[in-house]
């Protein structure tokens, strides 16, 4: 099962859309909807997650939006069909979940 993390800031207006897209993407990928949520400003947040804008969905250590972590807090936007949106698309998340499910696992 993939390690899925939603990185967010409490004041970000796009977190609700990211959660909704995650639920739909898990369904489209045929997987149970299971993820962890990390407040990027919490004291116990790992430093490697603090650089992501909100919301960011990280699957197995990689941002589904393909952006490297940035310096400082920010809301973020995603390109979707020539327009900018506040959360990664269901299709983008589901594709990443499906590709993760198909990867061989080491034992």
Residue 55 in any domain: the answer is yes
- Residue 2 — very low, low, confident or very high, per pLDDT cuts 50/70/90? confident
Asked whether residue 107 is domain-assigned, the answer is no
Give the pTM. 0.88
Omega of the bond leading into 55 within 30 degrees of 0 (cis): yes
Is residue 97 one of the residues assigned to a domain? Answer: yes
Task: Provide the number of structural domains found in the chain.
Answer: 1
18 located within any domain: yes
* Residues 29-54 pLDDT 10s: 999 999 999 999 999 999 889 989 99
User: Which domain covers residue 61, as residue numbers?
Assistant: 4-102
57-106 pLDDT tens trace: 999 999 999 877 776 667 888 988 899 999 999 999 999 999 886 554 44
Among the listed residues 9, 2, 3, the one whose alpha carbon sits nearest the alpha carbon of residue 56? 9
pLDDT digits (tens, 9 = 90+) for 7-24: 999 999 999 999 999 999
Over the Cα atoms of the chain, what is R_g?
13
**What is residue 22's predicted lDDT score, i.e. its pLDDT?**
97
Say which CATH number the domain at 9 has.
3.40.30
């Amino acid at each position: 099962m993939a390690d899925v993390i939603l990185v967010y800031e409490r004041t970000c207006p796009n977190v609700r859309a990211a959660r909704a897209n995650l639920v739909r993407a898990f369904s489209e990928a045929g997987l149970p909807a299971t993820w962890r949520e990390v407040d990027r400003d919490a004291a116990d947040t790992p430093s490697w997650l603090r650089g992501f804008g909100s919301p960011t969905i990280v699957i197995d250590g990689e941002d589904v939006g393909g952006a490297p972590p940035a310096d400082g807090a920010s809301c973020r936007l995603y390109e979707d069909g020539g327009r900018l949106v506040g959360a990664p698309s269901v299709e983008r998340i589901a594709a990443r979940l499906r590709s993760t499910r198909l990867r061989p696992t080491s034992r």
